[in-house]
Structure 1
């Protein structure tokens, strides 16, 4: 991905925290070609802008069993991300703050339960990505299952390498072999953890997320 436009924008919009001399010397004036990985989840809702700024970008859509994903969102709602945004004023609000990225029309959800909000957000994130790339049948898009990546990360990385032309470095392999947890991990990963953490909440929203799960290729047992 070409970075000059990106860093120029960062310089304009984030000038108080960016260091211009380093920016100019290392990324704008040099003629090397850099690859930049950006994994901000909110970018699901900025795809049109990203495509215009970076026409040569490659998009990796990491998907996960919706029940596990919603369970993880519930677990992290109070502990990881508290967005500084005013909620619509109402005594019927079920939440005190919003966490994670804010899909369009997020204000309409604040009267729902936390599991309903997380389920809606999960569906919206995946919906906008699928609509963008399924419409065009893009060759610069690939979908990866979280479960496959956890079980066999080397195979998944080889698939990414084949599609992007990037080389898997020794440092990358060493990092994988260390079996690291994400810095945002709250409780250790475990298969079907949602059944122990929030079984009733997840069963309640399963009918709502089931169509998107099937669209992503997940079988959805109601058990």
Structure 2
């Protein structure tokens, strides 16, 4: 890019066709993000973007400007777009941790972004990053719900510790529209509400953009057929694969930094009774996901 020191980069070129992962919380998006981040031409901010997006009061429910995590094109005012692009650019780094602002001679840079709250933000992100590509990741609802329940219980994923009007435990994970209706409800119903809101919103939003700009993938294929699954995703997103990336894929994927307990296909049964209570209310969304390759394992 050959950007002179101290000057702003060409943001349209810098964020050309970025890759954005859309997924419900605890569905394996960190593992996918960390795997794609091994591509030699991928640059990320090194973590999730909560602190970047919600550092702007207009996008933060705690500031009272919005009431939840749903953002659409109306929220992407020119000043907001410019500020976000600058902030993302400031933290960009490659797989070796080299910062973009110290290595501006890159001729090709692919930005990969993920945070579960983005499940509710696709129209907004499309305005910030025109032409973005999207990867829709989903997971067996039973395993996904169980992991969400455990996340709430652990207290490690609290996102809004002082949510006004909320009488339950400190709010964890994403904050969908209508969250107020879950006040006083059992934890499994709150998690089912979050899972349904995330997947239903992603399905609806992606149905409104060009089909060649998004692809779907299951967590089970990512972990069970890693090599072929990641190759398919890289072909879709036009991400480069080199020998180092190939070696990474040839070995068992390391646990993601967000892993709470070691993976186990039957782990969800620890919360089986709770999950069985809410499964009937989620069957319609599961059916919508089936044409994309969703199935219970």
Q: Which range, TM-score by smaller chain?
A: 0.7 to 0.9
State the Cα RMSD in Å: 3.0
Unaligned runs of 5+ in 2: 1-11, 19-44, 46-81, 93-98
Which secondary structure does the structure 2 equivalent of 1:77 belong to?
helix
Task: State the partner residue of 1:82.
Answer: 158
| Cα distance in 1 for residues equivalent to 2:164 and 2:84 | 31
2:135 is equivalent to residue 60 of structure 1: yes
CA-CA distance at 1:71 after TM superposition: 0.5
Cα 1:97/1:65, change in 2 over 3 Å: same
Cα 1:125/1:89, change in 2 over 3 Å: closer
Task: State the partner residue of 1:3.
Answer: 14
Q: Report 1:1-223 matches (<5 A).
A: 2-3=13-14, 9-10=83-84, 26=103, 32-79=107-154, 80-89=156-165, 93=167, 95-176=168-249, 177-195=251-269, 197-217=270-290, 218-219=294-295
Cα 1:103/1:169, change in 2 over 3 Å: farther
Contact map agreement 1:119 1:205 (CA 8 A) in 2: yes
Cα 1:220/1:159, change in 2 over 3 Å: closer
Contact map agreement 2:151 2:157 (CA 8 A) in 1: yes
What TM-score do the two structures reach when normalised by structure 1? Answer: 0.82
Contact map agreement 2:145 2:192 (CA 8 A) in 1: yes
Residues matched between the structures, number: 212
Which secondary structure does the structure 1 equivalent of 2:169 belong to?
coil
What TM-score do the two structures reach when normalised by structure 2? Answer: 0.63
> Which sits farther off after the overlay, 139-148 or 76-85?
76-85
| Cα distance in 1 for residues equivalent to 2:106 and 2:226 | 33
Relative to its length, the structure with more strand (as a share) is 2
Which secondary structure does the structure 2 equivalent of 1:83 belong to?
strand
| Cα distance in 2 for residues equivalent to 1:140 and 1:18 | 25
CA-CA distance at 1:172 after TM superposition: 2.5
> Which sits farther off after the overlay, 173-182 or 1-10?
1-10
| Cα distance in 2 for residues equivalent to 1:185 and 1:168 | 26
Contact map agreement 2:85 2:128 (CA 8 A) in 1: no
| Cα distance in 2 for residues equivalent to 1:173 and 1:213 | 33
